[in-house]
Amino acid sequence: MNKPLINYYGDLMSLIITYVGSKGCVMAGDKRSIGFLGDREQREVLEEEMYSGKIKTTEELLQRASQLDINLKITDSVEKVRNLGDVLVGEVKLRTTTETRRKRIYGTSSGYHQVELSGSEIKNVKSGQSSIVVFGNKLTKEIANKHLQKYWKSQTSLNEVSKIFQRIMEDVAQSTPSVSSQFDIYMVHPRLDHKQAMELLRTTIIEDVKELEKWREELKTQMLEQRRDIQMASRILTQGEVGRVRKVEGNEVEVILAPGVEALDMQWNVLSQEGETIVMKMNEPSPLSLGDLVVIEDENLCVKKSKTPLSCEIILCKSDK
């Protein structure tokens, strides 16, 4: 297996290495994600020191972050490479304030596609038949290149490629905290010519992007629901007048809602508005008078005059006016 063309693509927080040849595809990716919280200029200083190689270990990174008053959230569980049957997929992300951009490589025997996405929309596709593709920052790419130049042989099997990639991942993790010592590595070797590979990649990408679009829509719906929950929760009545007693039967109390008060169900649907009647309950029947004021005091629902506790299976809110 002759050494193929090596292509390098910049990404600061990942190392993903892909080999594609006529016999198969090997892909390795680290699992690190780092969140930086703090002053923007100080964050940029810290990132520059990390990506330039000045900071070499996670311990040094944490120490320097403390000096710059930057909080870090480091996780080593991100899935950056995946196995989709006879196709391997590697992905890096770049989040901005307005969008999430993704760069993916889909590889199999005799072919690969590099796909750039904005959200779930494909913006650019590059294809090839045989290559080594590296996603990483300047430092990680330099280390990867040295290993490839040193260990690659004129005839290298897929298993040997896997071992070389493993060595690269381990050595890079010892040189920079921008990637993790944990990594995933996969290998596939279906018998495909270039035409067959291109068709397999095409159908795989279509289905995978559809899944991404579906996931994004589900996430959008969840976020909208959470946002609505937060907005509605701010309207929940925790103090003040609720209404006045209209009728009492046993332990049931009909209450006319006060101006500016409404009753909602658990899905935030309006059940009763101001001036309309809702039913509350007393734990035990107690003498009440028509017109008695019902209030919430210290988050407790009760009749103001007698302090008789009341309960209801609805949400009492301030009207949305």
Summarised one tens digit per residue, pLDDT across range 201-218 is: 999 998 888 888 887 777
At residue 81, the 3 state secondary structure works out as: strand
* Tokens found for residue 155: 């005839």
Strands (E), 43-173: 71-75, 81-84, 87-95, 100-108, 111-118, 121-128, 131-136
Give me the tens of pLDDT residue by residue for the chain, a chain 321 residues long: 555 544 444 456 789 999 999 999 999 999 998 888 888 899 889 989 998 889 999 999 999 999 999 999 898 999 999 999 999 999 988 766 566 788 999 999 999 999 988 877 888 889 999 899 999 888 888 888 888 888 887 778 999 999 999 999 999 999 999 999 999 999 999 999 999 999 999 999 988 888 888 877 777 777 777 777 777 888 888 899 999 999 999 899 999 999 999 999 888 889 999 999 999 999 888 889 999 999 999 888 999 999 999 999 899 999 876
Spatial separation of the C-alpha atoms in residues 267 and 261, rounded to whole Å? 17
CA angle (263 as vertex; 262, 268 as ends), nearest 5: 110
Spatial separation of the C-alpha atoms in residues 185 and 18, rounded to whole Å? 10
Rg (CA), the chain: 31
CA angle (290 as vertex; 285, 291 as ends), nearest 5: 125
Nearest to 115 by CA among 87, 143, 145, 73: 87
Q: What is the distance, to the nearest Å, from the Cα of residue 131 to the centroid of all Cα atoms in its chain?
A: 31
Domains and CATH numbers, the chain: 6-32+76-216 (3.60.20.10), 240-318 (no CATH)
CB within 8 A of 18, min separation 6: which ones?
25, 26, 27, 88, 90, 105, 107, 112, 131, 132, 133, 134
pTM here?
A: 0.67
Buried b or exposed e, range 66-85, using 16+ CB within 10 angstroms: eeeebebeeebebebbbebe
How buried is 43 (Cβ within 10 angstroms: 0-12 exposed, 13-18 middle, 19+ buried)? middle
> Which tens digits make up the pLDDT trace of 251-307?
999 999 999 999 998 888 899 999 999 999 998 888 899 999 999 998 889 999 999
